[in-house]
Amino acid sequence: MRIMEYFKIGGSATIPAIGLGTWRIGGSISDEPDYLNDEYYIGALRKAFDLGYRLVDTAELYGGGHTEELIGEALKSYPREEFFIISKVWHTHLHYEDVLKAAERTLKRLQLEYIDLYLIHWPNPHVPINETIKALEKLIDDGKVKYMGVSNFCLTQLQEALDSTSKYEIVANEVKYSALDRKVEEDLLPFARENNIRIVAYTPLERGNINTALLIGLASKYSKTVNQIALNYLMCQEAVPIPRALREEHLLENLGASGWRLSKDDVEKLSATPVSKRDKERIVVSTAEALRRLGIENVDKFLRKEWAVKEDKNILKNLITRLLRKLFWE
């Protein structure tokens, strides 16, 4: 088993420098549970743990809760104290009592006594942030959560969240961040560094389609793969990437991104290089391909499906609109 590299979090605790994402493990993009492939998913998770992964990112939303059930099942035969488990409360459960109940359900599905880091998955302007934070602090007081944090919070929302704490700190913000999508470097990343907030980087491989000319050049210079350069870049920025991988070769390749560092010059070169129009288009093509592979060729039709509740539909719609706007016009 590979020895994990760690970063500091929440003052004195540690978090593995690279983790395992679990979105669409045990569920489709619509977050409907997929009960047909449990054995395969549990096997893949155990393979990841055997290879050395000790950080798992999940959410109550994933697979309608089934992803957490699969993780719980897979984790059973490993020492709990070695693991750092992140889960998230969905934006429709942010009132005080709802947060407490959501955490209980998550703990039950994970078969755990505590969650290491519990995040607000998305901000919800209709629920006062201090009400949600109060509930997270209660969970920490009760020993059900070790640390609290947020996800998809912009700088203003993060500052508001920080101002709402009374007993414990916000220790992390999980946001989209990759070597191609570096918007967080403009404001969130420097702010996070100054305020001891760990950035957890989601979709760090742009869903497996991140090869740009510069990354290819660096891969050859360091005798690493393009994905390893892309993940290492995030770690050099002190962010924790959480690539999702099911295949053993991907799990191994991604682990190989830790334990070494790009030079300061190369990090600066990467962070100074504007994302070309061609690379932006590459992401659009890969996103469209991913949606097609999931059988979602017509986004509008997908959004009209009955199972999606209105608010979830809006979030998905906003996400897709934001992504397309970002890629084509920003």
Ligand X SMILES: NC(=O)c1ccc[n+]([C@@H]2O[C@H](COP(=O)([O-])OP(=O)(O)OC[C@H]3O[C@@H](n4cnc5c(N)ncnc54)[C@H](OP(=O)(O)O)[C@@H]3O)[C@@H](O)[C@H]2O)c1
Q: Per rule CB under 6 A, is residue 266 in the interface with ligand X?
A: no
Please, what is the minimum distance in Å from the beta carbon of residue 205 to ligand X? Answer: 4
Q: Per rule CB under 6 A, is residue 21 in the interface with ligand X?
A: yes
Q: Per rule CB under 6 A, is residue 246 in the interface with ligand X?
A: yes
- Binder among 84, 90, 153, 202 for ligand X (CB under 6 A): 202
Q: Per rule CB under 6 A, is residue 245 in the interface with ligand X?
A: yes
In 10 A of CB 72, how many CB atoms? 19
Please, what is the minimum distance in Å from the beta carbon of residue 159 to ligand X? Answer: 19
DSSP 129: H
- Binder among 23, 49, 147, 177 for ligand X (CB under 6 A): 23
DSSP string for 174-238:
EEE--SS--GGGTTHHHHHHHTT-EEEEESTTTTT----HHHHHHHHHHT--HHHHHHHHHHHTT
Is 167 or 325 the residue whose CB approaches ligand X more closely?
325
Task: Select from 139, 134, 125, 120 the least CA-distant residue to 61.
Answer: 120
Q: Per rule CB under 6 A, is residue 293 in the interface with ligand X?
A: no
Please, what is the minimum distance in Å from the beta carbon of residue 299 to ligand X? Answer: 17
Q: What b/e readout covers 181-202, taking b as 16+ CB neighbours within 10 angstroms?
A: bbebeeebbebbeeeebbbbbb
- Report how many residues bind ligand X under the rule CB under 6 A: 25
Q: How far apart are the first and last CA of the chain?
A: 43
Tell me the C-alpha to C-alpha distance, in Å, between residue 138 and each of 21, 96, 153, 298. 27, 9, 21, 43
Distance CA 154, CA 137 (A): 21
- Binder among 46, 250, 269, 326 for ligand X (CB under 6 A): 250
Tell me if residue 62 is catalytic: yes
- Binder among 15, 45, 49, 57 for ligand X (CB under 6 A): 57
Q: Per rule CB under 6 A, is residue 132 in the interface with ligand X?
A: no
Q: φ, ψ for residue 251 (rounded to 5)?
A: -60, -45
Q: Per rule CB under 6 A, is residue 254 in the interface with ligand X?
A: yes
Cα torsion 191, 195, 196, 200: sign: negative
Please, what is the minimum distance in Å from the beta carbon of residue 289 to ligand X? Answer: 11
Is 159 or 209 the residue whose CB approaches ligand X more closely?
209
Element (H or E) spanning 49, and its range?
helix 38-51
Site for ligand X in 146-185 (CB under 6 A): 151-152, 174
Give the contact letters, 75-114, x = binds to ligand X (CB under 6 A), - = no: ----------------------------------------
Binding segment for ligand X (CB under 6 A), chosen from 17-25, 157-165, 310-318, 320-328, is 17-25
Is 152 or 212 the residue whose CB approaches ligand X more closely?
152
Strands 84-89 and 115-120: parallel
Is 125 or 143 the residue whose CB approaches ligand X more closely?
125
Task: Select from 26, 104, 115 the least CA-distant residue to 65.
Answer: 26
Contact (Cβ atoms closer than 8 angstroms) between residue 47 and residue 269: no
State the catalytic residues: 62
Which chain residues interact with ligand X by CB under 6 A?
Answer: 21-23, 57, 121, 151-152, 174, 202-208, 227, 242-247, 250, 253-254
